[in-house]
Every structure is written in structure tokens, then in C-alpha cells.
């Protein structure tokens, strides 16, 4: 058996094993999960910023944030 045949045979043997290389379906699922996690993080950030806008002065004082800082943070875009 020559070198090229050996390499081809080894590659075919590896490709037939299910765990040898990720399939396109696995890659797609990984991308979808990553995108979903990223979007969930953006939404959570937005909810947190909106919660700051709804807090009273006493609540903001308890967490050490001024009304001006809360307003500035609450108006930031969700992607920032």
C-alpha cells in the first residue's frame, strides 16, 4: 500500500466514526445556542437597566447609585 492510499484509508476510517469530526448539524446547533445565549444576555442587560429607572431614591441610595447615574445607565442601548 503506498502513502497516498494509507492516508486516504486512514481519513475515510476517521470520517466514518461519529465523534471524529463535528457534523454540520452540530455546528449549526452550537451557533444557534451561542446566538440564543448572546440575545438572552442582551435582554437581561436591558431589563436590569430598566429596573434602575424604576427604583426609588432610597433604593438607589442603598445600592450606592445616584439618580443621575441610574438615569444615564437606564438610557443606554441594550447592545452597549
How confident is the model over 30-70, as pLDDT tens digits? Answer: 999 999 999 999 999 999 999 999 999 999 999 999 999 99
How confident is the model over 7-24, as pLDDT tens digits? Answer: 555 555 555 555 556 688
Q: For the whole model, what pTM was predicted?
A: 0.60
d(CA 7, CA 9): 5
Is the CB of residue 77 less than 8 Å from the CB of residue 53?
A: no
Is the CB of residue 49 less than 8 Å from the CB of residue 39?
A: no
Is the CB of residue 45 less than 8 Å from the CB of residue 72?
A: no
Which among 72, 70, 77 has a CA at the least distance from the CA of 56?
A: 70
Query: Sign of the CA dihedral 50, 70, 75, 41?
Result: negative
Amino acid at each position: 500500500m503506498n502513502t497516498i492510499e494509507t492516508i486516504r484509508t486512514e481519513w475515510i476510517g476517521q470520517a466514518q466514526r461519529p465523534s471524529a469530526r463535528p457534523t454540520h448539524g452540530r455546528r449549526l446547533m452550537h451557533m444557534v445556542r451561542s446566538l440564543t445565549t448572546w440575545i438572552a444576555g442582551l435582554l437581561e442587560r436591558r431589563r436590569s437597566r430598566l429596573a434602575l429607572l424604576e427604583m426609588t431614591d432610597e433604593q438607589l441610595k442603598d445600592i450606592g447609585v445616584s439618580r443621575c447615574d441610574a438615569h444615564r445607565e437606564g438610557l443606554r442601548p441594550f447592545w452597549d
